[in-house]
Amino acid sequence: MDAAPAPFLLALVGWSVVLLFVHVMLQGMAATRELGSAWNAGPRDDGRRPQGVLAGRAARASANFRETYPAFVALALALVVAGRAEGLGAIGAGVWLACRIVYIPLYLAGIPYIRSVVWLGSAIGLAVMFVALVF
């Protein structure tokens, strides 16, 4: 069991938390820009929701991120616990994180096809992590 690469994979988990907060902040900033700071600071009981293009894209990009995020965290931590944090596992994790970072501006800009290819890259990163864990 080679423990040296585990800090790299754990650092990627840490950076993924930063990315989660980036999503939350972008979504919140877009909603506040549209509905105002009083809406954002209030209880939001009036049922108003952001309807603008940018706020919608930020919300959908965040939801998309959160769909695969638990799988990333589970696979990354399982790789560390199993002592397989090196090689393919680390590469897959790096690919997932890099693709998820690139995905944000592509989604916010409304760029089709390339965004889908980048999403596929992140899915491949998860698949590589899975392969490194079980084989």
Alpha carbons 65 and 12: distance in angstroms, whole number: 15
CATH number of 6-44+51-134: 1.20.120.550
- CA atoms of 72 and 125, how far apart (whole Å): 9
- Tens digits of per-residue pLDDT, 36-55? 999 888 898 888 889 999 99
Please give the pLDDT value at position 46. 86
- The domain limits of the chain are 6-44+51-134
pLDDT at residue 6, rounded to an integer: 85
The pTM of this model reads 0.91
pLDDT on residue 5 = 61
Q: Tell me if residue 119 falls in helix, strand or coil.
A: helix
Q: What is the pLDDT of residues 61-120, one digit of tens each?
A: 999 999 999 999 999 999 999 999 989 999 999 999 999 999 999 999 999 999 999 999
Give Cα separations from 107 to 76, 87, 99, 126 (angstroms).
Answer: 25, 30, 12, 20
